[in-house]
Amino acid sequence: MSSKRSETRQKLLQTTVNLLEKGQGKGVRMADIAVAAGVSRQTLYLHFGSRTELLIAATRYHDDQLDVEKRYQKVAETTNASDHLNAFIVFWGEHVPLVYNMAQALWEDADKDGAALAAWNDRMNATKTVCQLAVATIESEGLLSPSWTVETGTDFLFALLSIRNWALLTRTCGWSEVEYINRQQLVARNALFL
Amino acid sequence: MSSKRSETRQKLLQTTVNLLEKGQGKGVRMADIAVAAGVSRQTLYLHFGSRTELLIAATRYHDDQLDVEKRYQKVAETTNASDHLNAFIVFWGEHVPLVYNMAQALWEDADKDGAALAAWNDRMNATKTVCQLAVATIESEGLLSPSWTVETGTDFLFALLSIRNWALLTRTCGWSEVEYINRQQLVARNALFL
DNA sequence: ACGATACTTGACACTGTGTCAAGTAAAAGA
DNA sequence: TCTTTTACTTGACACAGTGTCAAGTATCGT
């Protein structure tokens, strides 16, 4: 009967994901989640110690549903640095919209809560690693512009592709997904190659 | 005797600026400011209706002290698009560190408070206007890469120079002010010109 | 001396997070 | 079948921080 517990846990996570995704992540309270899941507020604290823990668990849960590894395959399968970079930016341009609202909820808490900050940094480091891979590939083919080292080039690409930049360009400036991808490819290529 | 009121007001603003600048903007409470200014908490509400109002007023007060117009002169005095862009990025690279902590305090409230959001957008629009000027100058000399329109090029430059990008590159990645300026100049030039 | 101005004092409402203790209901185990 | 355990509920409360209110004090100008 320990399956009832994990059933409830799953329901809570799913409800949290749903609310965060639709509500733009803004001001989703513990009470809101409890009501939406048809459960008492205290049950949330029984399963997750705090709002931050719930947020982190929900983020992971959501990630698992997205099957990121599989979609990253196309990047991994490329055979040269230029294709790799382009494929990576395509991947990223398609990935961020799926993750944005969850990420936003996390970083809003990162101001106050150390655990949320840690979780946020975790995710950021993961994406920086893939940036690093892309730049290292360019360097290994001798195509990295002498203006950059692998490290600083990675920093730049990481900043260029940051989620907040994505939000600024697509949400605030109104770029479409395709425009975002094409222009970021262009900028990254012009900056890093030669 | 109405000078006493404005004296106090000034003292409150200055104290707020001091606290925000040193404290990384994080968690500066009304009570903290009141104590630091040697005044009761309620006096703050007598002069400014809310935390957000105080924050906005403090930001303006701080801006006035910085004499931005004068430091922007060097940008305005340039005679061609390339110099203009370079001078602008130098200006920006020197400007952001002075403004960062205040800006951070403002945008942290922007999540919750509509007024803070409005104030934040105001500032952002101001900087976007100067970005637009830089890109329009390039275009007017026929040097803007055909990949861009003035509008999209402005969007890009605005994103590249966003305060959050600055924070990511200098604070998180550890770029020095000089490195930031040189590399951002490089990237902007490579992306926009041709 | 009078009254306005500037500020103080202390209490209180409100929101949202997190905690605690006692209670219920139903499945699991003897 | 009776008992224990598990999963959840209920309602109260502490706490932080913002914002409000009413009554009090001190000082300045006239």
- Per-residue pLDDT, averaged over B38-45, amounts to 98
CB B74 within 8 A of CB B87: yes
* Whole-number pLDDT of residue B109: 85
Q: Specify whether A102 is located in the same domain as A162.
A: yes
Q: Specify whether A55 is located in the same domain as A77.
A: no
Q: Which residue of B has its CA nearest to A159?
A: B165
Which residues touch A83 (CB under 8 Å, ≥6 apart)?
none
Q: Specify whether B97 is located in the same domain as B146.
A: yes
Measure the CA angle with vertex A82, ends B146 and B180; round to 5°. Answer: 70
- Per-residue pLDDT, averaged over B40-55, amounts to 97
A152 at interface of B, judged by CB pairs closer than 8 A: yes
CB B192 within 8 A of CB A183: no
What are the pLDDT digits (tens) for B111-170?
888 888 888 998 999 999 999 999 999 999 999 999 999 999 999 999 999 999 999 999
**Which of A63, A83, A116 marks a domain boundary?**
A63
Q: What is the DSSP letter of A193?
A: B
Q: Classify the C-alpha dihedral B14-B15-B21-B26 as positive or negative.
A: negative
* Whole-number pLDDT of residue A19: 96
Q: Specify whether B86 is located in the same domain as B101.
A: yes
Question: Which of A26, A147, A165 is nearest residue B165 as measured by Cβ atoms?
Answer: A165
Q: Specify whether B50 is located in the same domain as B88.
A: no
**Which of A18, A34, A63 marks a domain boundary?**
A63
HSE, CB side, 13 Å, CA atoms: give it for residue B71: 16
A3: CB within 7 A of chain C nucleic strand: no
The three-state DSSP-derived secondary structure of chain B is CHHHHHHHHHHHHHHHHHHHHHCCCCCCCHHHHHHHHCCCHHHHHHHCCCHHHHHHHHHHHHHHHHCHHHHHHHHHCCCCHHHHHHHHHHHHHHHHHHHHHHHHHHHHHHCCCHHHHHHHHHHHHHHHHHHHHHHHHHHHCCCECCCCCHHHHHHHHHHHCCHHHHHHHHHHCCCCHHHHHHHHHHHHHHHHEC
Q: Specify whether A163 is located in the same domain as A176.
A: yes
What are the pLDDT digits (tens) for A22-35?
877 678 999 999 99
Question: Which of A169, A173, A190 is nearest residue B190 as measured by Cβ atoms?
Answer: A190
User: What letters, b where the CB count within 10 A reaches 16 and e where it falls short, cover A136-154?
Assistant: bbbbeeeebeebbeeebbb
Q: Distance between CA A87 and CA A71 in Å, rounded?
A: 11
Helix then strand count (H, E) for chain A reads: 10, 0
What are the pLDDT digits (tens) for A52-97?
999 999 999 999 999 999 999 999 999 999 999 999 999 999 999 9
B46 at interface of A, judged by CB pairs closer than 8 A: no
* CATH code of the domain in which A113 resides: 1.10.357
Q: Specify whether A55 is located in the same domain as A102.
A: no
Q: Specify whether A72 is located in the same domain as A53.
A: no
The residue type at B31: A
Q: Specify whether A21 is located in the same domain as A95.
A: no
A160 at interface of B, judged by CB pairs closer than 8 A: yes
**Which of B63, B85, B108 marks a domain boundary?**
B63
- Which pair of structure tokens corresponds to residue B33? 């400011």
Contacts of B186 in chain A (CB under 8 A): 147, 191
Q: Is B160 exposed, middle or buried (0-12, 13-18, 19+ CB in 10 A)?
A: buried
* Whole-number pLDDT of residue A1: 45
Give distance CA A108 / C1' D19 (Å). Answer: 23
Q: Distance between CA A132 and CA A155 in Å, rounded?
A: 8
CB A192 within 8 A of CB A144: yes
* Whole-number pLDDT of residue B25: 62
* Whole-number pLDDT of residue B37: 97
Q: Specify whether B116 is located in the same domain as B177.
A: yes
Q: Specify whether B176 is located in the same domain as B114.
A: yes
Banded pLDDT at A186 (limits 50, 70, 90): very high
* Whole-number pLDDT of residue B3: 76
Number of domains in chain A: 2
Residue B162 sits in which domain range? 67-192
* CATH code of the domain in which B11 resides: 1.10.10
Q: Specify whether B120 is located in the same domain as B180.
A: yes
* Whole-number pLDDT of residue A6: 92
- Which pair of structure tokens corresponds to residue A118? 């840690």
Of A70-74, A117-121, B47-51, the poorest mean pLDDT is in A117-121
A1: CB within 7 A of chain C nucleic strand: yes
Q: Which residues between 122 and 151 in chain A have a beta carbon less than 8 angstroms from any beta carbon of chain B?
A: 147
